[in-house]
Amino acid sequence: MNFLEHNALYVVGIISAVIWLGLFFFMFGMERRVRKLENQ
């Protein structure tokens, strides 16, 4: 727990980066599905 207390900013940054990456991959997958449906 000592790491979390002294490096809270890094923890918030890492969590934020993970959320943004997840959102990016989710939107990328949705784009592929929509394009596939449009081509049908």
State the Cα–Cα distance between residues 32 and 34, nearest whole angstrom. Answer: 6
For residue 5, pLDDT beyond 80: no
Residue extents of the structural domains in the chain:
2-39
Q: pLDDT tens across 23-39, in order?
A: 999 999 999 999 999 99
Q: Do 11 and 4 meet the contact criterion of CB atoms below 8 Å apart? A: yes
User: In 3-state terms, what secondary structure has residue 40?
Assistant: coil
For residue 10, pLDDT beyond 70: yes
For residue 2, pLDDT beyond 80: no
- Tell me, what's the pLDDT at 19? 98
Mean pLDDT, residues 6-19 taken together: 93
State the Cα–Cα distance between residues 36 and 29, nearest whole angstrom. Answer: 11
Model confidence, pTM: 0.69
